[in-house]
Amino acid sequence: MDFLEELGTLKKQVLIKDSFNIPEHFDNIVISGMGGSGIVGKLFSELYHSKPVICLDDYNVPDFVGENTVFIGISYSGNTEETISCTNQALKKGSHVFIVTSGGELSRMGKERVIIPSGLQPRSAIGYMLMPLLNTFLHLDAGKRDILSGLIEDVDLHHEEASKLGKEIALEKKIPVIYGFSPFRYVAYRWKTQFNENSKLMAVNNYFPELNHNDTMSLRDTYLKDDFFFITFGGSYGKISRRIDATEKVTSTRFFKVTPLGNDDLEKMFYLIHFGDYMSLETAISRGMDPRDVSSIEDLKKLIK
């Protein structure tokens, strides 16, 4: 399957209705995952606020993880060493362990598993991996999943702005700087990682209002500013929108604004994610890079075995 076909599967991915039988009472949710799998927990943490959600992207679980923890291990391949390490630790501590994977070692671990289709790049399976969490904790129903699917299909059919932006970044040889804000902080991070993996390009992410306390101070006087292309999200977000406008004015910086379609945060999140997919794909194509190639990451995994 080529990369464009992979992107075309997202509209089907969000229709899966799998969910977990979580315990009635628990203290916290701990989600372990790396890279294109780990982004799922991070995105979820911005949509669910009823319990503390701690996302792990390292080898170890914190001391507090125990019997009252809902632990979710997410790895598309099922063989990510950091996630296996955390899952083993959570099992030993007696946590309620749930798994999302397409196979590998993780598919034989935990109390309940959602096994998703294999054959995609992990970063292209974001719908398969995110939906079990949304179905479980946000109680998404079939109607809502249909709406998401339709919105994603719209992006498949109309991504001219995304492609134009992706091409412009490559042709002007710019490093993208993506400024997010809640609940789209991790959309900015997703875009950064898609530029990294798909386009083989360095990229930077950050978020309002925190960046107004430090980053902002550099934008007036830094050297090499013209090497960077600043992007943020458009729409009406109260104080944050005022901060975005003020940052542009005070630092004489132009931010390209991508305004999501969608009627709520979740819909806008998926719109922006898929926008970023097409944008980074076009940057890859314009640079003559294969968006599927992740040989550096594979070479590294071999070297640290």
Give me the active site residues, please.
197, 213, 301
The answer to whether 247 contacts a copy of itself (rule: CB under 8 A) is yes
3-state SS of the chain: helix, strand, coil percent to 5?
A: 50, 15, 35
Two tokens at 25?
């009472």
51 contacts 29 by C-beta, under 8 angstroms: yes
> Which of the ranges 95-103, 113-121, 143-151, 238-246 carries the binding residues for a copy of itself, by CB under 8 A?
238-246
The answer to whether 213 contacts a copy of itself (rule: CB under 8 A) is yes
> Which of the ranges 1-9, 16-24, 103-111, 242-250 carries the binding residues for a copy of itself, by CB under 8 A?
242-250
**Using the rule CB under 8 A, which residue among 119, 250, 259, 264 binds a copy of itself?**
250
The answer to whether 274 contacts a copy of itself (rule: CB under 8 A) is no
- For residue 203, report the phi and psi dihedrals to the nearest 5 degrees: -155, 160
72 contacts 41 by C-beta, under 8 angstroms: yes
The answer to whether 216 contacts a copy of itself (rule: CB under 8 A) is yes
**Using the rule CB under 8 A, which residue among 119, 182, 259, 264 binds a copy of itself?**
182
The answer to whether 82 contacts a copy of itself (rule: CB under 8 A) is yes
The CA distances from residue 131 to 59, 104, 194, in Å, are: 25, 20, 20
Rounded CA separation 97/252 (Å): 49
Q: Closest separation between CB of residue 31 and a copy of itself, Å? A: 12
The distance from CA 72 to its chain's CA centroid, rounded to whole angstroms, is 16
Two tokens at 26?
């628990």
Residue of 68, 65, 122, 55 whose CA lies nearest to 88: 65
Looking only at the bridges linking them, the beta strands covering 175-180 and 256-258 are unpaired
Q: Closest separation between CB of residue 292 and a copy of itself, Å? A: 11
Q: In the complex, which residues of this chain contact a copy of itself (CB under 8 A)?
A: 27-28, 34-36, 38, 49-52, 54, 57-59, 62-64, 82, 173, 175, 181-182, 192-193, 195-197, 199-204, 209-210, 212-225, 227-228, 239, 242-243, 246-247, 249-251, 287, 289, 294, 296-297, 299-300, 303-304
